[in-house]
C-alpha cells in the first residue's frame, strides 16, 4: 500500500475554502479582494500580546518585506510557511518523488492537502525558534507573574498567536484565489511593497524625509544644498534610499524593464479544428515563469540565514562557518565566514567598500557580490523550470491544454506529441533565460538601491504581480461584458 492510500483520506479532508459553484461577479471578486486586503493590514497592526520589549528582525528587512511579515505582530511569519512548503513540494514533485498526477482530481486534492499539512509543519518549525530562541521576541516577565504562568507560559501564548496568524494567511490566500482576483500571496507582497514605496516618496517626518519633501526642502533652501553635496554628502545625494538620484532612476528603470519584458513574447498561431475562421495565439513571454519563482530563491536564502542566526544564538559557531555581530545580547548580521558570503546584498552600503567602515577585505566583499549574483541567476533559472513543470506550463501540459481546447497549430498534424515538439523549441529556453534575467535584475536593484529601501526582489514582484492583476482585471471585465466569452474559456 502506497503513501497516497494511507495519507489520502486525511489529506483530502483538510479544511479548506469552498469553491464557488458558479460564476462570481466581478464586483463581488473585487469586494472579497479588498476585504482580505483590509484584514491583512489590520492584522499587521495587531501586536503580539505578551511581548515585553522591542522585537528584533531575525530575517532582515528584505526578507521581512518579501514574506509580507510584520515584526512583533500576529503576522510575524507572513507568507513564509506557505513559500517554504511550496519549495519543498516543488522539489519533491519536480523530482517525481511524490508520484502525484495533478491533472487527476484526487491527486490534486491530495497535493493541496499535503501543502496545507506542510504549511502547519513550517509554522511550527519557524514559529517555535522565533519565540523560544535567540531573544528575538522577548516575553513580558511581569505578565507571566500576573497570570501565574511564568515566562515560559507567556512564550507559549505568543507562539499560539503567531500560529493563528500563519493559518489565517493560509486561508486568506485561499479566499482570494477562489473568490477574489489574483492570489493572496501576491496581494500581500504588493501591499507591503507599495506601503514602503509610498512612504519613501511622500513621508514628511524624520531627517531625511521622503523623496518629495527632501527635494522640496533643497529647492526652497530649507536644506543647505552646499552641505548636502559637499564631501561625503555627495554619496547621500546619489544613493540615499529616500531621495537619492540613483535609487529613483533604478526604481523607474526596473519598472520599465519588467513591463517591457512582460510584453516581449513569441506568439504561436492557433486555429480551431472545427470552427472555421476561429483563430488565436499562444503567447510565450520572455518572463514565462513570472517573477514568483524569485520568492522561492529568496526564501531559500532566508531559511539559510534564519538557521545560521539561531545556531549562533545557541552555540559558538566556528569562524569558518559564521561570525556575527551582537548588540544587547541579540545576534546581528554575519560579518565573516561562509554565512557572510551567502548573505544577500540588500543595499548599496553592503558592497561599496571604498566608503570605508568595512571589516572585510575588498576581495571578500567582491566574493560576496559574486556569490549573490551566481545564487540568484542560477537559482532563478532552476526554480523557474520547477515552477513551469509543477504549474502545468511545460511543453507537454501546454500541448495537452491546446488539444483539449480544440485548437491546433496551422501546418502541423493535430497530435499532442507534434504540438509538444513545437513548444519545446521555445518554452524551456525562454524559461531559463527569463529566470536568469529576473535574478540579475533583483541583485542589481539591491546593489543600486530603490525608493523607500524596497528590496529588488520585492520591487520586481510588485511590478510583475500588479501587471498580471491588471491583465486579469481587464479579462474579467471583458468576460463580464460578453458572457459568451466566459463559456468559451471554460468559465461558469
Residue 199 maps to a domain: no
Query: What's 358's domain CATH number?
Result: 1.10.3370.10
pLDDT at 485 over 60: no
Q: What is the mean pLDDT of residues 156-175?
A: 94
Residues 88 and 175 in one domain: yes
- pLDDT (tens digit per residue) in 252-271: 998 888 888 888 888 888 87
What does the pLDDT read at residue 269? 82
Q: For residue 162, is it within any domain?
A: yes
Is the pLDDT score of 298 beyond 90?
Answer: no
Average pLDDT over residues 274-291: 75
Looking at the structure, tell me whether residues 340 and 472 fall in a common domain: yes
The reply to whether 158 and 253 lie within a common domain is no
| pLDDT for 278 | 64
> Domain for residue 8, yes or no?
no
With bands split at pLDDT 50, 70 and 90, how would you rate the model's confidence at 107?
confident
Confidence of residue 163 (pLDDT cuts 50, 70, 90): very high
CA gap 186, 177 in Å, rounded: 10
Q: Are residues 125 and 216 in the same domain?
A: no
Q: Which domain holds residue 89?
A: 26-194
Read off the pTM: 0.78
Same domain? 378 vs 489: yes
Claim to verify: residue 209 and residue 301 sit in the same structural domain: no
Residue 358 and residue 232 share a domain: no
Q: Which of 20-24, 276-280, 307-311 has the highest mean pLDDT?
A: 307-311
Asked, for residue 7, whether it belongs to a domain, the answer is no
**Residue listed under C-alpha cell 518629495:** 212
Is 152 part of any domain?
yes
Query: Are 210 and 264 members of one domain?
Result: no
For residue 308, being part of any structural domain is answered with yes
* 301 and 417 assigned to the same domain: yes
pLDDT value for 83: 81
What domain count does the chain have?
3
Residue 19 lies in a domain: no
Q: Is residue 406's pLDDT more than 80?
A: no
Amino acid at each position: 500500500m502506497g503513501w497516497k492510500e494511507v495519507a489520502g483520506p486525511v489529506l483530502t479532508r483538510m479544511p479548506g475554502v469552498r469553491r464557488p459553484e458558479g460564476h462570481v461577479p466581478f464586483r463581488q471578486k473585487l469586494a472579497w479582494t479588498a476585504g482580505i486586503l483590509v484584514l491583512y493590514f489590520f492584522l499587521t497592526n495587531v501586536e503580539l500580546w505578551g511581548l515585553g520589549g522591542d522585537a528584533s528582525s531575525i530575517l532582515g528587512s528584505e526578507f521581512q518585506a518579501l514574506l509580507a511579515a510584520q515584526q512583533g505582530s500576529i503576522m510575524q511569519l507572513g507568507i513564509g510557511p506557505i513559500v517554504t512548503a511550496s519549495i519543498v513540494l516543488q522539489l519533491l514533485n519536480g523530482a517525481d518523488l511524490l508520484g502525484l498526477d495533478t491533472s487527476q482530481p484526487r491527486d490534486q486534492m491530495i497535493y493541496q492537502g499535503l501543502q496545507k499539512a506542510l504549511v502547519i509543519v513550517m509554522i511550527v518549525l519557524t514559529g517555535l525558534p522565533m519565540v523560544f530562541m535567540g531573544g528575538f521576541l522577548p516575553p513580558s516577565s511581569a505578565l507571566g507573574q500576573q497570570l501565574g504562568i511564568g515566562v515560559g507560559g507567556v512564550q507559549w501564548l505568543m507562539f499560539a498567536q503567531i500560529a493563528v496568524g500563519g493559518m489565517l494567511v493560509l486561508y486568506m490566500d485561499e479566499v482570494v484565489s477562489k473568490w477574489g482576483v489574483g492570489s493572496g500571496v501576491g496581494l500581500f507582497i504588493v501591499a507591503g511593497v507599495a506601503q514602503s514605496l509610498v512612504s519613501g516618496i511622500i513621508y514628511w517626518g524624520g531627517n531625511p524625509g521622503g523623496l518629495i519633501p527632501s527635494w522640496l526642502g533643497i529647492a526652497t533652501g530649507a536644506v543647505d544644498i552646499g552641505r548636502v553635496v559637499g564631501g561625503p554628502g555627495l554619496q547621500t545625494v546619489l544613493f540615499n534610499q529616500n531621495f537619492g538620484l540613483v535609487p529613483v532612476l533604478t526604481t523607474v528603470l526596473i519598472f520599465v524593464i519588467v513591463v517591457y519584458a512582460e510584453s516581449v513574447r513569441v506568439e504561436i498561431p492557433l486555429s480551431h479544428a472545427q470552427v472555421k475562421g476561429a483563430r488565436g495565439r499562444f503567447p510565450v513571454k520572455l518572463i514565462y515563469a513570472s517573477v514568483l519563482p524569485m520568492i522561492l530563491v529568496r526564501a531559500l536564502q532566508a531559511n539559510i540565514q534564519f538557521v545560521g542566526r539561531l545556531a549562533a544564538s545557541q552555540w559558538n559557531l566556528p569562524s569558518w562557518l559564521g561570525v556575527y555581530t551582537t548588540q544587547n545580547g541579540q545576534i546581528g548580521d554575519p560579518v565573516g565566514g561562509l554565512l557572510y558570503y551567502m548573505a544577500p546584498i540588500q543595499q548599496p552600503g553592503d558592497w561599496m567598500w571604498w566608503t570605508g567602515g568595512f571589516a572585510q577585505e575588498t576581495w571578500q566583499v567582491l566574493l560576496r557580490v559574486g556569490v549573490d549574483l551566481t545564487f540568484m541567476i542560477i537559482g532563478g533559472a532552476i526554480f523557474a523550470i520547477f515552477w513551469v513543470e509543477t504549474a502545468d506550463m511545460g511543453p507537454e501540459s501546454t500541448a495537452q491544454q491546446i488539444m483539449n481546447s480544440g485548437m491546433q497549430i496551422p501546418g502541423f498534424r493535430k497530435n499532442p506529441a507534434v504540438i509538444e515538439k513545437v513548444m519545446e523549441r521555445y518554452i524551456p529556453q525562454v524559461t531559463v533565460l527569463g529566470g536568469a534575467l529576473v535574478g540579475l535584475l533583483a541583485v542589481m536593484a539591491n546593489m543600486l538601491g530603490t525608493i523607500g529601501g524596497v528590496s529588488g526582489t520585492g520591487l520586481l514582484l510588485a511590478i510583475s504581480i500588479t501587471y498580471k492583476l491588471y491583465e486579469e482585471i481587464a479579462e474579467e471585465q471583458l468576460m463580464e461584458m460578453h458572457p459568451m466569452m466566459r463559456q468559451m474559456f471554460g468559465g461558469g
